Structures are given as structure tokens and as C-alpha cells.
Amino acid sequence: MYCKQRKLIFIFLLFALCIYGQQEFSNPIIKGGYPDPSICKVDDTFYIVNSSFEYFPGLPIHKSKDLINWDLIGYGLHQESQVNSVVNLIDVQSDGGIHAPTIRYNNGTFYIISTNVYFDEKKQKAEMINFIITAKNPEGPWSEPKHILDAPGIDPDLFFDDDGRVWYVGNQQPEDPNFDGEGEIWVQEIDLQKFVLVGERHLLWRGACGGVWAEGPHMYKKDSKYYLLIAEGGTSFNHAVMVALSDKIEGPYISNPRNPILTSRNLSYDNWVNSTGHGDIVRLDDGRYYMVLLGIRNEIERGSNMGRETFIVPVSWEREPYDWKKIKYLWPVVAPETGRVELQNQLIFDNSNKIISNGFIDDFNSEILNLNWNFRRFPMNNIFQIDSKKGLLNLFCNKNIIKERGRAALMGFKQTETSFEYRAKMFFNPKDEGSEAGVSMFQKDNNYINFTLIKQNDNILVQINAIKDGVLEDSFVSEINNYKGQIEFKVTASKSKYELSYSLNGKEFIFVKSLDYSIIKSNGYTGAHLGVYASGNGQISNDYASFDYVNYLIKTK
């Protein structure tokens, strides 16, 4: 009943927005942990792909007609056969996995090029494998990954020139680095029939401002000039977007004297958004240009639990009023009115309205798992089962627990706002000692909050374990009286605290504990997930938990 009422409220809000309309939209345009956006346009539809790191499915793909309302339509890495020696998402380390993809379209085919970063513990060495997947339909299916050999570095780009040639744009550490972390951009022609690099490799640019972490390249062509856009400064407070141009793709490249063309490094650490950078540019049919990029909202302690998200800014083009060679190059100017990413913005298309998400609901009435669900790494077999006839998600208590490079019965969807209410109704009648199930809020293998029931000494206990940086930050355990096999968990989040409570009848809630919000603050590449968890805690078990629904309600400010 609760879930159905939420759906009716959600539909009403969408209807009201369509009636009254809006004149503005707010950044970010894709909320939650969706960093490193890359964009392409096909006919009247825009597509964005983002990094997914150790999570599966990998390479989330959104589409939009108006650049402000985005629908998740699928993933580039979505099937078991794609997880192989090229793309290892089985025991990949935290913050490893799929980095900084580029999406492009050419002659009826979509291409995604990306990097899988895997740290080999035996070799004590990080292996970076660059690969390409293709599809006729961006919703999938996507092809098996094609490993591009002899392609060092990360964050590759594909550039389709107007003469029919295709170029791989990559980065690497120079053979003669001037300092640790110096990056260098290179380009080489690629044969997309054989997926091999051909011809001579050309070294292009080491960046504009010292070249610290020069990466994330994207190549464009405008008015017969080649523009090389890169990220620089590292993906934190000094993050920035730089640009250079050349008459030839092989170079030499001239750095824009006004670099960086976008950054928040010159703003207060307490500006509403920080760490802006890693952009990709798209041209609209009417000749306007926009850039999508990543940033971090300042929600708590100069960061947020959502991590790095996708933002958008306008781009114009201007000629240099003066340079000593009297050439007056045409350069992109990002956010030309203010020079920074703004929270509130004028609509990009006059006939569009920003549809504000009210949250996420899943009552498991579909035979297919909702696209919003993610797993940390490729899930083991028999982790979950959907009983669509009963509207239940069955999550099995295998022996695994949450640990670094491990795979547990843990699944979740992305947190998109700081203030929310998260509920989940669970049926759980464990027979085995140590069987545990409930809800989880998680960032990493060493950064999570589990709010669960566990069987100990033939008793059912409510338990909380809050892990921060691998250390038990806080905990709670207490026996439940009159437990009859079902429970509803509730997590209410504000800008500073999580309030955890539960109900055995769906009406009266029992407060359990308040936890500091910073426990699962994003300290790295990814944002937080809200989800469900089950475990036998090292024991082989046939127990399972059945979830009737999950309800994630965003609280308006």
C-alpha cells in the first residue's frame, strides 16, 4: 500500500510540473555518482556515458532530448561474457575498474572506448587495458570488449576525421618526465575493422599549467582547426579543463593563453560546487555548444556522499583580440557570462521542462531487475532472484561478507541527494546461526553502514555496524521482542545525521540510533549507494531474505 501511494504522489508531481512549467533548471543534470561524462548526439537525441569503476553493470548510458532530463537506458558492460581477461570486474580493487569512457557515433554504429585499471597483487603492478565496445542500439546489446594493444595510459578518445580516418587519442607518462604525475597526450591512427593501431604515434601536448595529470583528452574539429581538450590538475580541488589547437591533428599544438578555460580552483573551497573538470563538448543543431563535465557538490565538509556528478555549461567561441603573430585564433569560452558552473540556469530548449525526481521505488513486480541496481563487482551466481508474481526480491545468505576485492550479496542504487528517507520492507525467517539480512548504505568495501537482523543463539537481533575507513566507527545490537518474520527498516537522512529506526507492524517505528553522515562520505571516485544486504557470515546457508519493496524519497529543501 505504501509503495502504491508513493507512485501516485510521484505521478501527480510530474503532472504538476508539466502544467506549470519552468524557466530554469538546476545542476547537476545527472545526480549521484556519475563522473567523467562523455556525450554524443545522434539525430535529435543526446547520449552520455560515465565511469563505473568497480561496479557492475558497467558504463551507464543515459539519453535525453533536451540536455536536462536524462533517462538511464542501459550499460555498455551488461553481460557475463564481457567480464573477461580484458575487463576484470571479478576481484578488481576499489577505485579500479572502468575509467573515463568516451562515446561516439559514426555511420550507424555507437562506439565506447575506455580503460580497465586492475592492480595485480602478485606482480604488485597496476595493469591498464584500453578497450572498445560497439553497438547499433545504445540500449544494447553491446559487443565483447576489443583490447587495443600497445596503447598505454588511461582515458582514451576516438576521433572520426572528415577524411574518413579514425584516430585514437590517449595519454601516458612521458619517457622523460619532469616530475611525478606529469602526463602527455598522444595520437595514432586506428583501424576499426581490426581494432589495431596503425602508422606513426605523435606526441602532442603535456598540458597548459605544468601538466599535472594531463588526461581525459577529447579531439574536435572546427573551421579546419583541431582542438584538443584535456583534464588537468587531478580530480579534486585543482581539477580543470584545458584546450590547445593545431592546423594538423599531428600537431604542433598551441596552448590557449587563457587556460584553464574552466575550473573552480580560483573559487572558495566552500563554493557550492568544487573540483569541476573533465569536460566533453557537443554541438546543437542551431549551432550552439555545451560542455558536460564532472563536479562535487558542497553538501557536507566540502564534499558530498554523492561523489562526482554530471554538470552542464554553455560554450561560446571567441577570437583572441591580440597575439604577437596577428593570427587571432578562435577559442572555446566556457560559461561565458560567469566563467563557472552555476546552480540555476536558463533552459537550453524553450519547449522543455525540468522534471524533478522524487526518488526511486521498486516493488519487484518486473521479471527483470531495474536498471538502477548496481553490484560491487560482477555478482556471483545465485545471489538474488526476483519473484515477480509475489513482487519479491529474494537475496540469499551466502557465506561472503563485505571485504576488499570481495563479492557479497550486496546491491544498491545511487544516492542522489543529501536529505532523504529510505525504507525497505523485509521478510526474514533464518534457520542458521549467523544468518543476517537488512539494508545497507555503502561507498566502498571499507566504508559502509549495515542495518540488519541477525540470528544469534536462536534469537533475532537488530544490529548496526558502521565502518569508516575499515574501522568500526559505531555499532549497536539488541534483541527484538515479538518478531514475527517481517520488519520495515527506515533511514532518515539530513545534512548531518542518519536516523535509523524500524517497525514490526508498518505503523509505529522504534528509533535505534543516530549516526554521523560523514561515515560514508565520498573520499574517492564513487558516490554512495542505498541498498540491501544478506550474508551467512562465513557459513554456508540456505537462508534468504525477501524484500517486498524499497522506497527512496527525496526530501525537499
Rg (CA), the chain: 24
Does residue 432 sit in the same domain as residue 512? yes
Does residue 311 sit in the same domain as residue 378? no
Is 63 inside a domain boundary?
Answer: yes
CB atoms within 10 A of CB 355: 17
CATH number at residue 443: 2.60.120.200
- Quickly state the pLDDT bin for 13 (edges 50, 70, 90): very low
Does residue 66 sit in the same domain as residue 181? yes
Is 1 inside a domain boundary?
Answer: no
User: What pLDDT digit, counting tens, does each position of 124-175 carry?
Assistant: 999 999 999 999 999 999 999 999 999 999 999 999 999 999 999 999 999 8
C-alpha cell at 86: 580484458
Distance in angstroms (rounded) separating the CA atoms of residues 405 and 377: 8
Distance in angstroms (rounded) separating the CA atoms of residues 334 and 312: 10
pLDDT of residue 16: 43
Is 351 inside a domain boundary?
Answer: no
Is 352 inside a domain boundary?
Answer: no
Supply φ then ψ for residue 384, to 5 degrees.
Answer: -145, 165
Does residue 488 sit in the same domain as residue 413? yes
User: What pLDDT digit, counting tens, does each position of 244-260 carry?
Assistant: 999 999 999 999 999 99
- Which of 346, 370, 396 marks a domain boundary? 346
Q: Which residues contact 229 (CB under 8 A, 6 or more apart)?
A: 217, 218, 219, 220, 241, 242, 243, 279, 280, 281, 332
Report the candidate in 263, 302, 309 with the shortest Cα–Cα distance to residue 26: 309
User: What pLDDT digit, counting tens, does each position of 460-492 carry?
Assistant: 999 999 999 999 999 999 999 889 999 999 999
For the chain, what percent of residues have pLDDT higher than 70? 95
pLDDT of residue 325: 66
Does residue 369 sit in the same domain as residue 314? no
- Confirm whether 155 is a catalytic residue: no
Does residue 102 sit in the same domain as residue 156? yes
pLDDT, average across residues 393-415: 97
Report the candidate in 406, 422, 426 with the shortest Cα–Cα distance to residue 414: 422
Does residue 185 sit in the same domain as residue 331? yes
- Confirm whether 516 is a catalytic residue: no
Marked catalytic residue, from 36, 155, 232, 417: 36
Supply φ then ψ for residue 80, to 5 degrees.
Answer: -60, -35
Is 14 inside a domain boundary?
Answer: no
pLDDT of residue 17: 44
pLDDT of residue 8: 47
Is 8 inside a domain boundary?
Answer: no
Is 15 inside a domain boundary?
Answer: no
Marked catalytic residue, from 54, 215, 232, 445: 215
Does residue 399 sit in the same domain as residue 339? no
- Which of 301, 321, 346 marks a domain boundary? 346
Is 498 inside a domain boundary?
Answer: yes
Does residue 443 sit in the same domain as residue 483? yes
Domain encompassing residue 327: 23-280+288-346
Does residue 371 sit in the same domain as residue 339? no
Does residue 266 sit in the same domain as residue 403? no
pLDDT, average across residues 421-436: 97
CATH number at residue 108: 2.115.10.20
Domain count, the chain: 2
Does residue 342 sit in the same domain as residue 363? no
